[in-house]
Every structure is written in structure tokens, then in C-alpha cells.
Structure 1
Amino acid sequence: MSRLPSKIYPVVDHPRWVERLGAAGARFIQLRIKDLPVEELRAQITTAQELAARFNVSLVLNDYWELAVELGIEWLHLGQEDLDTADLELIRSTGIRLGVSTHCHEELDRALLIKPDYIAIGPIWETKLKKMAFGPQGVERITEWRELCGDIPVVAIGGITLERLPSCLKAGADSVSAVGDFIRHDDPEGQVRRWLACAET
């Protein structure tokens, strides 16, 4: 399995963040947009692709696998419910790299059968940004997943802040993801630089 583009992995809700965080040094960004008409969605994804190319960002699209195939997206992230309907054979045939969310051993077993390019585990801490059916997993689960995933990279997500980043990396996460600690921060660009510096120490 290939190494992930970065140890830090912001999740954003609009293409403008690809430009802002990419300019600050983020190299692995997920675009997670919800509830838009398909034409507007396609336009935002295309804009994000253009910005990602300009700032040397590996762009990950959340959920919309048909658009990922259509538009030639580099990375795709799917939740467990998305796996029920996604054409994984078609996705793989296009060369798209795939990440999958997991929250429990049953979901991990399912993900491992797919052999994705990374497996996400979360929420590590409680998160208010997304209603979760699963409670906080704790950093110990990162270490467990790291052992069970073999050579598949592990991404930690859920309630993670700059202060919590080192414990996730120490526990075995190959990359650490966050939403609020970037796009809801008073200084998002500075926060990217702080995360990058912390991840490399």
C-alpha cells in the first residue's frame, strides 16, 4: 500500500478551503459537501480540483463516487453505508485511491476485505460536528487498528485538536484528520502550519 500524502488531513466543506489550507501547506484535503443540487456539486468539485492542482494538494472527495469517476478524482472516501451501493470494481478500474470509514470490528473486517488505500477509525474523541452512532473510541483503538490493518495506512478522526495530535501519531496513526480545528479556527492557515510542525517533531 502507498504511503499517505501527509500526516495531517483537513476535512473541509467548501472549495475555498482547498485554496486557503493548500496555500498554507496542507497536502491532503478531503472535500465533504452535503445537500447540494448535482450541478452545483459538480461545479464545486471541479473548482476544488483546479485549486488542488494549483497548490499541489491530493484532493479526497467524500461520498460521491459517481462524480469521482466522472471527474477523475484522485482519492475517494466512503462511509460504511456508501459501500452498500458503490461500484467498487468500477472505482478501482479508474485508478481512484480509496479510503473507508470504520467504527467497530465488524466494519473493520468489511473494510479489510476491500483492501482500501487507507482505513479511518473514529471518533477518537467526542465530536459535535456530526451525529455519531458510535461513542469515542480512544487512542488505544488507534494502536489496535494499526496492528490489525497490516500495511494499510490508518487515519484517526473525530474530536482531534492540535493538542491531541501527538497522542494519535504516537498511538500509530499514519495520518490525523480534523474538521473544526481547521475551518472553525480563528487562524486556519496558522493552524495548518502548527499541525505540520507538530506532526514532524
Structure 2
Amino acid sequence: MVTVDYSLYLVTDSSLVPHDLTFLGQIEKALEGGVTLVQLREKDLDTGPFIELAYKVKALTRQFNVPLIINDRIDVALAIDADGVHIGQDDMPLTQARQLFGNDKIIGVSCNTIEEAQIAVHQGADYLGIGAVWNTATKKLTKKTLGIQGVQDILAAIPPIPNVVIGGIKLDNGKELLENTTGVSGLSIVSGIMAAPDAKKACKELLSMIRNYVVNPMTVQNEIVEYAIKAIEHIKTKSPLVHHMTNNVVINDNANATLAVGASPIMSTNDEEVNDIAKINGSMVLNMGTLSPKMAETMSMAMKSNHDLGHPIVFDPVGAAATEYRRVHTKKFLESGTVTVLKGNTGEILYIAERGGKSRGVDSVGGNGGEENAALAVKETAQKYNCIVAMTGEIDYVSDGHRVFAIENGDNLLACITGSGCMVSSIVGCFTAVNRDNYLYATIAAILLVTIASEKATKRSDVQGPGTFRSALIDELYNVSNKPSILEEYAKIREVKL
């Protein structure tokens, strides 16, 4: 599913169009004015005419690369291959709609209460339509209006999710709403656009106001993806040497993953050659999965040598909370002040951040404590140790101590093979080796490449389970890195506001 900009969401109503204008003309003018999403809502049309009209509206939205949502009618949405469908509380249940419509389409749900919103989030809605905020003449209301406080109460009771607020919204009260709420993704407008004598001008004014309060997620994502594509090209061009001191279980996979993206691995734990390798190194990857006293000493030497030469150091604190021995060395390595990127799983990073964190051996167990806890964990740890912190899990979180990003790519099979997290560390080493201008974006780019490669691998007909997935993952790291424009299609990145 593509990332959607919900900032200015038009809901159509043909009955509102001024007599001297046309329905399709209003939609076209609205698109010219910057509408970011269109919902075709025509309650009184029969199926045939609705489909005919939907095709015409789709042709317009495609010209402006804006998604088209169909209100209520899943049959119409399927018939024209719309981008999504919006359902109300009295329409088809969300779970059934998802079965019919598939996981690659957008499904929005109307919500008027905290309970309705929580159920919609739990069932997997892609966005919420929250309202009605104020009285509106475009729809007969059967429930109370929310007002600004009601909107804020709903948003405070649910995890962050894309949403639009609807109901009696104009330019002035929309501004008041955005000034006094946190977490609104956009405004849904009906009469303010459809009844406007100049829909293009109305949309420009609305969007200009909205942009003062709502960050377009597409802008952020596109910026990072553009960086990632160039970063991959740098790896291919420069083929940096990435020195690994990693655990014995994953040496072969880490080396192959490094080669697959165009870098050159060296897997040495010999303390007598640490300084010589550092002189020709691009980056250093340290993984304490099979830590021993000798390995710990050599790792400390490697960290100092590479730090003195200005090379980025990626530290993977495998099993950081599992034993006292690992806890002591995790702290020692981090307090050395040489780590550029700290990359760990959920249990490891939460433990380091003192925000929970449970593990069984080297595996993370339990959740992340919610998005706010996860985001604060990476942000606070990045500030404390002056490095980039990446926490991998069902959703990956990355921070430089100022900004926090969530990456929602990746397939569940990553958790079914040993060393997938270690592989991520290797790829972070590849990216940071030759993209030293922005270690935050380089780290996000590395995680993005691995997680999207995992999604591509799972779709292959030759993948039947974890064993075949492991081999396919290496293949897809190679394939995606040789065609990095694929990232534009798959990337799901958003900035987390705290």
C-alpha cells in the first residue's frame, strides 16, 4: 500500500454543486487546488451509474496521482479497482471488508466514540474518519457532535493512526481545531469545496492553512527514500570494506548479505591485524552474540582503532540483558563514546533505555510497551550515548536523539530465522561506510532495504518456509539493491511526534 497524504480529503456530494458548474469540473478544480485524497460518496446512485461515474472520477484522480476512495460500496470499489473504500458503523464490518478488498487497499472507518475508534484500530483500519465535529447540512446526524475536545479525547485514547476529522469544517474553524489538537492527519471537507464558486481557490486556501499544522508524510518519506536510492548507488560504486567481528552463528549470512548489496566483507577477530584493517576500512560492525573475554578485548581494540580514524562503528548488543557478563560489556562499549550506530532488537534496546526490555537468551520477548515507550527508548538512548539508535521489531524505530522515525516494512518470517537482526547490522555497516553525511538516514535506508527485501522474498513461489526464505532474502537484497527504485513502491516510513 502506498503512503497516503490525508491532509485535504475531499468527500463529494453532487447535490451541492453550483448550478453553473459541473460535478466532474468541481473535482478537477479541487485536484488542481491541491486536494490530496478524494472520496466518491453518492448515496442515491444505482450500481451501474455509480460505476460509470466512478470510472470518470478515477480518470481525473489518476492525472493528479491522488488516491480514490469509494464510500460504502465495496462492489463499486472492486469493479473499478479503486485505491480504497470508506465504511461507516452501519456498513459492512471491517473484517469482512478486508477479506473482500485485500490487504493492499485502503480501508477507512467512520468513528464517533472512543470505543468505535479503538475497535477500528484493533481490527486493522488504515485510517479513521472522526466526526461529526460540528453540525453539518450535508448529512443527517444520528449521533452527537464531538467538538474539538471530543476529537482530542478520541485521539488520546488510541495509538497513532492516520485520521481525518469531518463535519461542518470550514477554513476558520478548521484552523481552530488544528491549533487545539494533537495528532490530526487532515481535514475532510464536503460543502466547503463542492459548493465553492471557485473550488481551486478554496482548496489552495485550505491546504495552505493545513500545512501550517500537519506535516505531509509523503514529503518525509520521499526525502528518505530518495536518500536511500543514492546511498545504495554509493555502495555499488565504492564497494567499501566492512570489517565484522560477529557471532559464529551468522558469519556466513552476514558476509553474503554484505556482498549482495555491493560491499566487501572481512570477518576477522584477530587482534594482531585490527589496526592494519582499520587503515583500509569503511566501517566496523561489532556483534557480541558469542562474546568471550578475548573477543571483548579485541572488540575494544577495534573500536578505538576505527574511532581514531573516523570510521563509523555499528554495535549490535546481542543478548544485552541476558547475563551479567553481557550487561557489563554492553555498558562498557556504549560508554566508550565510540559507537556511531547502536542497533538492537526490542528487548535489548528497551533494557538499555531502562524502559522494560525482556529477553530469553539472545531473543527478545514481549512487546515494546506501546509506540510512545518505543519512541522514547530510542530517542533517550540516542541522546545519552550521542549515537544513532535503531530498535528492530514488528515496527522498527530509529532516532538521532532529536527525531524519531518508524519503519513499518518487513515480513514475519524475519523472526523465524537466526541472525536476521545481525544481518541488519551488517547492512547498516555497508550504508554508513560510504554515506557519512547523514547517519540517521543511512541507518533508516539500511533497515528499509532489508525489510523490503524480506517482503519481496516472501512473495516468491520458491519460498516455502524459513529455510527457503533465508536464501531468498539474500537474493532479494541483491535484486532490490540493483533496482533501488523498488523502494519507492514499498516504503512505509513515518516520523513519530512526541
The normalised TM-score by structure 2 is: 0.38
Q: CA deviation at 1:132?
A: 0.8
Note if contact 2:114-2:154 (Cα within 8 Å) is conserved in structure 1. no
How far apart in 2 are the matches of 1:161 and 1:55? 24
Are 1:117 and 2:126 an aligned pair?
yes
Instruction: Specify the alignment match of 2:102 in structure 1.
Output: 92
How far apart in 1 are the matches of 2:2 and 2:171? 26
Correspondent of 1:82 among 73, 91, 95: 91
Q: CA deviation at 1:3?
A: 5.4
Q: CA deviation at 1:195?
A: 0.4
Instruction: Specify the alignment match of 2:12 in structure 1.
Output: 12
How far apart in 2 are the matches of 1:169 and 1:2? 25
Note if contact 1:4-1:175 (Cα within 8 Å) is conserved in structure 2. no
Which SS does the other structure have where 2:173 is aligned?
A: helix
Are 1:34 and 2:43 an aligned pair?
yes
Aligned length: 200
Q: Return structure 1 stretches of 4+ with deviation > 6 angstroms.
A: none
Instruction: Specify the alignment match of 2:434 in structure 1.
Output: none
Residue identity in the other structure for 1:198 = M
Note if contact 1:8-1:175 (Cα within 8 Å) is conserved in structure 2. yes
Q: Which structure is higher in RCO with an 8 Å CA cutoff and minimum separation 6?
A: 1
Which SS does the other structure have where 1:81 is aligned?
A: coil
Instruction: Specify the alignment match of 2:194 in structure 1.
Output: 183
Q: CA deviation at 1:193?
A: 0.5
Q: CA deviation at 1:168?
A: 2.5
How far apart in 2 are the matches of 1:131 and 1:43? 27
Note if contact 1:5-1:58 (Cα within 8 Å) is conserved in structure 2. no
Instruction: Specify the alignment match of 1:128 in structure 2.
Output: 137
How far apart in 2 are the matches of 1:148 and 1:106? 9
Q: CA deviation at 1:2?
A: 7.4
Note if contact 1:4-1:174 (Cα within 8 Å) is conserved in structure 2. no
Which structure dedicates a bigger proportion of its chain to helix?
Answer: 2
Correspondent of 2:161 among 152, 159, 168: 152
* Structure 1, 79-88 or 97-106: larger mean CA deviation: 79-88
Note if contact 1:169-1:176 (Cα within 8 Å) is conserved in structure 2. no
Which SS does the other structure have where 1:80 is aligned?
A: coil
Residue identity in the other structure for 1:7 = S
How far apart in 2 are the matches of 1:199 and 1:108? 23
Instruction: Specify the alignment match of 1:197 in structure 2.
Output: 208
How far apart in 2 are the matches of 1:103 and 1:6? 19
Change (3 A) 1:3 1:145: farther
How far apart in 2 are the matches of 1:168 and 1:118? 19
CA shift digits 1:30-73 (9 cap, x unpaired): 11112112111110011111111012222111111122123211
Q: CA deviation at 1:190?
A: 0.7
How far apart in 1 are the matches of 2:97 and 2:171? 36
Note if contact 2:33-2:200 (Cα within 8 Å) is conserved in structure 1. yes
* Structure 1, 84-93 or 190-199: larger mean CA deviation: 84-93
How far apart in 2 are the matches of 1:139 and 1:96? 30
Note if contact 1:19-1:55 (Cα within 8 Å) is conserved in structure 2. no
Correspondent of 1:43 among 48, 52, 70: 52
Q: What's the C-alpha RMSD, in Å, of the aligned pairs? A: 2.0
Tell me which structure has the larger Cα radius of gyration. Answer: 2
Note if contact 1:121-1:155 (Cα within 8 Å) is conserved in structure 2. yes
Which SS does the other structure have where 1:87 is aligned?
A: helix
Which SS does the other structure have where 2:144 is aligned?
A: coil
Instruction: Specify the alignment match of 2:69 in structure 1.
Output: 60
Which SS does the other structure have where 2:132 is aligned?
A: coil
Residue identity in the other structure for 1:143 = Q
Which SS does the other structure have where 2:99 is aligned?
A: helix
Q: Percent identity?
A: 26
Change (3 A) 1:175 1:3: farther
Residue identity in the other structure for 1:196 = L
Structure 2 unaligned spans of 5+: 15-22, 213-498
How far apart in 2 are the matches of 1:113 and 1:6? 20
Residue identity in the other structure for 2:190 = V
Q: CA deviation at 1:25?
A: 1.8
Which SS does the other structure have where 1:136 is aligned?
A: coil
